[in-house]
Structure 1
Amino acid sequence: MMNLALIEFNQTLLYKFIRFGVVGFSGLAIDFGITYVCKEKLKIHKYVSSSLGFTVATASNYTLNRNWTFEDHAAASITQFSKFFMIALVGLFLSNILIYLLHDKLKWNFYVAKACAIVVISLWNFFANYLYTFSS
């Protein structure tokens, strides 16, 4: 009986992680698109551009993850969004540190550094939101 519950838990967790990944790719497109336009076309500083892309993607990801990934159908609350956004801010801080290290110090391409940071921070975001924001 315990093994069946564990298997079901693992399948549920995997299912949510896959959905989280799909939402993440949509956020990635939003993030990179806004970052590119701001940095390359509008000539806004790279970290400001990256932060703008991140912020818009975070709002989109919150909505999609709340409704689809974690299937939270309770009334939306400012508290829940605040938790999601705080986790995302920690992720942004860590992401900018990684980008700085990879791009400025190791001289990697900016977008490769950003992509690497996104992969690492995605794990942080999923588990923090799974365990804290959407843990009903």
Structure 2
Amino acid sequence: MDVFFRIIKFGLTGLLGMAIDFGATWLFKEKIKVNKYVANAIGFSLAVTNNYLINRAWTFQSTNMHWGTEFGKFLIVSLIGLGLNTFIIYLFHQRKNGTNFYAAKFFAIVIVFVWNFLANMLFTFK
């Protein structure tokens, strides 16, 4: 049952992260006119920092004194997630010609959620 509640907490944290990610991506892509993949990386990076802090304290209740190493692990998991995220967006937005950028991004977030939860539970916060 503990895993179920962790998934819920991770999901709620992820929703906040998704809002930060989408908001920052939109701001940088649409208003500041940054390349869509760079804007995606900025949004993702801001969300990662937020998600680490909340997941460390709330979802996984980590007491690891070596928070720098722990954040490094979280960052590695997140960077792999960013690679998956960007590849999925590229695949659906560029290669399929017609899939909306934000629809492709949403699909990528769902897939990366599963990766991030499992990797963080089994690697970062174990």
Q: Answer whether TM exceeds 0.5 for this pair.
A: yes
Identity of aligned residues (%): 45
Q: Establish whether residue 123 from structure 1 lines up as the match of residue 114 from structure 2.
A: yes
Alignment match of 1:132 (pick from 99, 113, 123): 123
TM-score, length basis structure 1: 0.90
| Structure 2 residues without counterparts, runs of 5 or longer | none
How far 1:131 sits from its partner (Å)? 0.2
How far 1:61 sits from its partner (Å)? 0.1
Partners of 2:63 and 2:73 in 1: CA distance: 17
How far 1:76 sits from its partner (Å)? 5.0
Query: Structure 1 counterpart of 2:27, which letter?
Result: V
For these two proteins, the number of residue pairs brought into alignment is: 125
Aligned to 1:5: none
Aligned to 2:63: 73
Structure 1: 4+ residue segments shifted above 2 A:
73-76
Aligned to 1:45: 35
Partners of 2:66 and 2:52 in 1: CA distance: 11
Query: Structure 2 counterpart of 1:134, which letter?
Result: F
Partners of 1:76 and 1:132 in 2: CA distance: 14
TM-score, length basis structure 2: 0.97
Larger Rg: 1
How far 1:77 sits from its partner (Å)? 1.7
Please show how residues 2-41 of structure 1 align to structure 2 within 5 Å: 11-41=1-31
Query: Structure 2 counterpart of 1:83, which letter?
Result: K
